[in-house]
Amino acid sequence: MLVKICSIANIGLETVLVDVEVDVAASGFPGFTIVGLASQAVEEARERVKTAIVNSDFEFPNKKITVNLAPADLPKDGSAYDLPIAVGILIASNQIPPLSDLENSFFYGELSLDGTLRATRGILLLGLFAQKKANTSIFVPFPSAREASVISEIKVYAIKSLNQLADHLSGIKIINPLKHIEIEEEIEETEVEFDLMEVAGQEQAKRALIIAAAGGHNLLMYGPPGTGKTMLARAMPGILPPLTPNEALEVTRVYSISGLLSSGQSLLKRRPFRSPHHGVSAAGLIGGGSNPLPGEVSLAHLGVLFLDEMPEFPRGVLESLRQPMEDGVIEIVRAAGHVKYPASFTLIAAINPCPCGYLGHPKRECKCNERQIAKYRHRISGPILDRIDLFVSVSAIDVEKLSLNTPMEVGRISSKKAKELVLKARGIQAKRFSDLKIYTNSQMRNKEVKNFCLLTSEAENILKLAAEKYDFSARSYYRLIKTARTIADLESSEKIIPAHMAEALQYKQTI
Amino acid sequence: MLVCYSKIMNYKKIKNWQKLPELKKLKDLSSPPKELFFLGKWDPKIFKSSVAVVGSRKMTDYGRRVIEKIIPKLVFEKKTIVSGFMTGVDQAAHLNCVESGGKTIAVLGWGINYKLERADLKLAERIIESGGLIISEWENQKPTLWTFPYRNRIVAALSSEVIIIEAAIKSGSLITARFAEKLKRKVWAVPGPITSRTSMGTNSLIANQKAQMWIDIPPQPEITISGDPLLTLIQNEPLTTNEISRNLKLSVSQVGAQLSLLTLQGILIEREGKYYLNDAG
C-alpha cells in the first residue's frame, strides 16, 4: 500500500513542502530504501525508524519498503523525517488507521530508538508554513512544540512518543492540541543585567549609548582596559525597547532554525545580545556550513552585536560585516545553494586606544610606539569605520571617584529613565517612517535624510564649518545629520537646532 | 610619488666637506665624520643658525604638545631644526617643522643608501620638498645598536643649542646631551611630570645641572576669557567632557555642544578626548 505524508524542508528561512511517500509492497524482496537526495542524516533514519517501531511494540513489516522524499531533486538534510517515515510505514502496513485529513496534516520530528520524540529544529517555520493552508494540523515533538503555539489558525499536537501518536490516530486516546498563545503575553520586559547607574562616571559614553539605542546607530567605544566599556555595552539591552510581536516572530525564526531555543520555549522574549569572542571564524560570524546556518550577525538580528576588542578580530572576518551592516541581510552562497538570513543589528564595538591599552591613561604609561599604534588602528578598515555613527571615548577614571557615595554626576541616569527616553524617540521615528520600510534614523538613506532632517540655517552653518575643518567624506556628512536627527528626537524637537548639531559633532569619527 | 622619489632621492657625496665653511662646526668633534652624504638641495644658509630638538622614541601626548609649542616658535625665529629621524620626538619635530614652514636637517643613524620604510619615506620626501636636508656619514651602513648613539655627535655638533624633549633615564638623547656639553653647546631640557618615565631623563638633566630648564613664560594670554566658566576651567588644566560636565554641573549634552562650537571656532583644541586652550589662537 502507498501512503503520502506531508512534511517540509527548510532551506535557510524558506520552507518548502516535502511529500514523504511510503510504499510497503505486497511482493518483492524485503528491504528498506530511502530515495530523494537524502543526506547521511536522513539515510540513518532507516535504523532509527526500524528500531523505534520495534521498541514501540509494533511490527516492522518484513516487506519491500520504499520511501521517496519528493520533490526528488531538492537536497534534504536533518533527522526530522524520522516521524513522517515511521507514521507512513505504520499506516501503509495497516497497523494504524489512515487519517481522514492526511493531506492537511504535517509530521516533522526526530525519533529516538525507544520511540520517543526528540527536540527538532525549525518547528516555528513549519507552523508558519502550515498557517498558509486552512485547517491544518501539525504533529511535532513535545519538547519543541511550544514554538508553534504562538501561531494562530493551526492545530499543534505535541507528541511525546510514537505510541502516544498511534493511540491518538486510532482514536483510543485523543491528544488535545496545544493552547494558542498570544505573542504579546510572551514578550517580557528585559531584565536589566547592568543598570546604567552601576557604571561610575562616563557620562558621555552613557549619553552615546542612549543615542545609539534611540536611533539604532552603531557605536564604537575606545578607551583603556577596565574603564567600563564592556559593562556599558551589557547595559544596552536594558535600555532598548521591547520586541514587537512581529519582530519577536522574525527573530525567533532564526533561533528556531539554529536549534537555539530551549526545550519548551515558545519565543525569543528579549532582544538578542550577542558577543562573539574574537576567535570567531567568518562562517561563525555571518553564517555558513554546507547547508548554511545563521551566524552571529543573524542571531543578533533586531538586537545588539557586541564586538569586544574589535581590532583583535581577523581582518577578513571583520570585512565580512560590510554587507549586513549596509543592507541588514546576509546572503550566503554555497555549492549546495544560496540562502538569505536577516541581519539587521546594532553594532557596539569596543577597542583599546593602542595594543598595550594605556595610551592617554593619566597614570600608567603606554609602552607602544607610534608605528604599533597606527598598525593597531589600521586593523579596522575605513569602510567598516564609515558605517559606525558614534565614536565615544571611555577614559580612565580615578579610583577615588568610583566610590559610590560621592555625588559626582550631573543628572545621573538609570536604565529605566534612559529607556523611557529611548521609547519616546522611537515613537517619533515610528510615526515619521510609517509609510516606509525602515524603523530608525540610522536606516535612513540620503533621500530620506533630505526629506526628514530639517536643519535650521545656523545648524547648517555649523555643519559646513565642521565639514571644512575636519574634511568630512560625503558619508560622514550624512551620518552626522542622522545622529543630530536622533538627538533632536530625544528632545522631541522637530527641527535640528545648532545645539543638536554641535552635540552630534562630539561623536564624530576620531580614529 | 614614485617619480618624485627617484628624482629627489638620488643621494650625493660631499667632496671635501672639511673645506666647506658652513660645516666648520663639525670640526669641533674629536672624531669628525670621514665622509658625508646627503639628499636634497644643498644650501649653505640652512646651517647658519640651527637648533637640535631630540627626545624619546616613546613620545607621550605631553611630548607632542611641547613640540607643537616650541617648534613653530623656533621656525619663526628662522632656526633650522636638526634631529635624528627616529620615530617619536625626532620625527614629530621634523614633521612639525615642515608643517610650520621651516627647514629641517635629519641626521640618519644608518647609511644614506639604506631603503626606508613607507611612512619614513613620506616624511623624508616632505623634508626634502620643503628645502631641508637628509644627511648621513655612511653610504651603505645598516642600522645597528651603535650607529644611533654615534650619529648623535653630528646632531649635537651641527647645532648651537640642543633642546631635549622627553627622555627616559637610559635614552640616546642623553648621549646627545653629553656630546653637546663636550662641544660647549647650550643644552636645554623640557621638564616633565615626575611620574612619567619618559621625563625622568630630562628631569635628571635639570636636577644635575647638566641642562637648563626650558620653561615657557607665556605672554599674557591673548584670548580674552570673557567670564565663560568653561574656558576659565580649561585654562587651568586640560579636561575631558565628562570632567567639565561634573565641574560645571551641566549635562554632558550641553557641555558637549558648547565644546564642539568652541573647537570649531578654533578657541579650543581636542586631543585624545581632552580639551585644551588653543595657545596659537
- What pLDDT, in 10s, does the model give residues A320-354? 999 999 888 999 988 777 899 999 999 999 999 88
B1 pLDDT more than 60: no
Of A393, A410, A466, the CB nearest to B273: A393
**Backbone phi and psi for residue B12, each to the nearest 5 degrees, phi listed first:** -130, 160
Chain A residues with beta carbon closer than 8 angstroms to that of B272: 353, 359-360, 393
Answer whether A369 sits within 8 Å of B273, measured CB to CB: no
CB contact under 8 A, B198 and A410: no
B200 by Cβ neighbours in 10 Å (0-12 / 13-18 / 19+) ranks as: buried
Q: What is the pLDDT of residue A481?
A: 93
Could you tell me the pLDDT band of residue B155, with boundaries at 50, 70 and 90? very high
Question: Given an 8 Å threshold on Cβ–Cβ distance, is A371 in contact with B257?
Answer: no
With bands split at pLDDT 50, 70 and 90, how would you rate the model's confidence at B4?
A: very low
Distance from CA of A457 to the nearest CA of B (A): 15
**Partner A contacted by B87 (CB < 8 A):** yes
Q: Among residues B104, B107, B262, B240, which one has the least CA distance to residue B172?
A: B107
Residue numbers in A near B251 (CB within 8 A): 203, 410-411
What's residue B5's pLDDT? Answer: 45
| pLDDT for A443 | 87
CATH 1.10.8 in chain A: give the residue spans: 444-511
CATH number listed for the domain at residues A2-181: 3.30.230.10
Cell of B36: 658625508
Q: To probe the interface with A, which of B87, B253, B259, B275 has the most A CB atoms within 10 Å?
A: B253
Q: Which residues of A touch B87 (CB under 8 A)?
A: 369-371
d(CA A316, CA A305): 17
Please give the grid coordinates belonging to residue A110: 526526530
Calculated CA dihedral for residues B73, B75, B77, B80, nearest 10 degrees: 130
Which is nearest to A217 in space by CA: A17, A24, A406, A425? Answer: A425
Angstroms from A331 CA to nearest CA on chain B: 38
Q: Is B259:B244 a contact under the CB 8 Å cutoff?
A: yes
Contact B258 A502 (CB under 8 A): yes
Chain A CB within 8 Å of residue B258 CB: yes
* Average pLDDT of the segment spanning B63-90: 91
Q: Is A370 within 8 Å of B251 when comparing Cβ atoms?
A: no
Please report which confidence band the pLDDT of residue B217 belongs to, taking 50, 70 and 90 as the band edges: low
Of B261, B268, B174, the C-alpha closest to A465 is: B261
Chain centre to alpha carbon of residue A257: 11
pLDDT at residue B216 tops 80: no
Which residues in chain A have Cβ-Cβ distances shorter than 8 Å to B249? 410
- Cis before A71 (ω within 30): yes
Residues A503, B264: C-beta atoms closer than 8 Å: no
Residues of B with Cβ-Cβ distance to A469 under 8 angstroms: 264
Cβ–Cβ contact A163 with B under 8 A: no
pLDDT the model gives residue A338: 86
Task: Give the closest residue to A366 by CA, choosing from B105, B78, B272.
Answer: B272
Q: What is the CATH number of domain A196-399+413-422?
A: 3.40.50.300
Question: Which pLDDT belongs to residue A26?
Answer: 86
Q: B97, B75 in Cβ contact below 8 A?
A: yes
Contact A91, A3 (CB under 8 A): yes
**Range(s) within chain A of domains with CATH label 3.30.230.10:** 2-181
Report the SS3 class of residue A16.
strand
pLDDT at B174: 92
Query: Rounded distance, CA B166 to CA B55, Å?
Result: 5
CB–CB contact A410 B257 (8 Å)? no
Distance in Å, alpha carbon of B160 to nearest chain A alpha carbon: 29
What domains, with CATH codes, occur in chain B? 2-213 (3.40.50.450), 229-277 (1.10.10)
Which pLDDT value is given to residue B281? 45
* A444-511 carries CATH number 1.10.8: yes
Which positions in chain B touch A368 (Cβ < 8 Å)? Answer: 58
CA–CA min distance B256, chain A (Å): 5
> Which residues from chain B sit within 8 angstroms of residue A374, using beta carbons?
119
Average pLDDT over chain B, rounded to an integer: 87
Do A209 and A488 touch, CB atoms closer than 8 A?
A: no
Q: A241-245: list long-range contacts, CB under 8 Å, 24+ apart.
A: A241/A419, A241/A422, A241/A423, A241/A426, A242/A187, A242/A188, A242/A189, A242/A190, A242/A270, A242/A271, A243/A187, A243/A268, A243/A269, A243/A270, A243/A271, A243/A302, A245/A183, A245/A184, A245/A187
Query: Which pLDDT score, from 0 to 100, does residue A367 have?
Result: 82
User: pLDDT at position A404, please?
Assistant: 52
User: Which of A20, A105, A29, A102 shows the shortest CA–CA distance to A67?
Assistant: A20
Rounded to the nearest angstrom, the minimum Cα separation between A418 and chain B is 14
Helix B172-182 / helix B147-158 crossing angle, nearest 10 deg: 40
Contact (CB<8Å) B273/A395: yes
Q: Which of A186, A336, A322 lies closest to A251, judged by CA? A: A186
C-alpha span between B92 and B85 (Å, rounded): 9
For B220-248, how does the pLDDT look when each residue is reduced to its tens digit (9 = 90+)?
444 455 568 888 888 878 888 888 888 88
Contact partners, residue A508, CB within 8 Å, separation at least 6: A391, A466, A470, A476, A480
Condensed to tens digits (0 to 9), the pLDDT of residues A162-191 reads 999 999 998 899 999 999 888 888 777 667
Q: Is B61 on the interface with A (CB under 8 A)?
A: yes
With residues binned 3-state (H G I as helix, E B as strand, rest as coil), the percentages for chain B, rounded to 5, are: 45, 15, 40
Q: What is the pLDDT of residue B219?
A: 47
Interface contact flag, A207 B253, Cβ < 8 Å: yes
Closest residue to B240, CB basis, from A370, A395, A505: A395
Residues of chain A with pLDDT under 70: 189-190, 398-411
AA letter at B184: K
CA distance B72 to chain A (A): 21
Q: Where in chain A is the domain with CATH 3.40.50.300?
A: 196-399+413-422
Confidence of residue B3 (pLDDT cuts 50, 70, 90): very low
Instruction: Give the residue from chain A lying closest to B266, CA to CA.
Output: A469
Please, which residues 391-420 of chain A have a Cβ atom closer than 8 Å to chain B? 393, 395, 408-411
Cα nearest neighbour of A505 on chain B: B260
Q: Is A503 on the interface with B (CB under 8 A)?
A: yes
CA distances, A40 to each of A35, A140, A280 (Å): 12, 22, 27
Q: pLDDT above 90 covers what percent of chain B? A: 44
CB–CB of A502 and B256 under 8 A? yes
Cell digits of residue A125: 517555520
Compute chain B's Rg from CA coordinates: 21
Nearest CA in chain A to B255: A503
In angstroms, what separates the C-alpha of A268 from chain B's closest C-alpha? Answer: 35
CB contact under 8 A, A353 and B272: yes
CB-nearest to B242 from A201, A363, A366 is A201
B247 CB near a chain A CB, below 8 Å? no
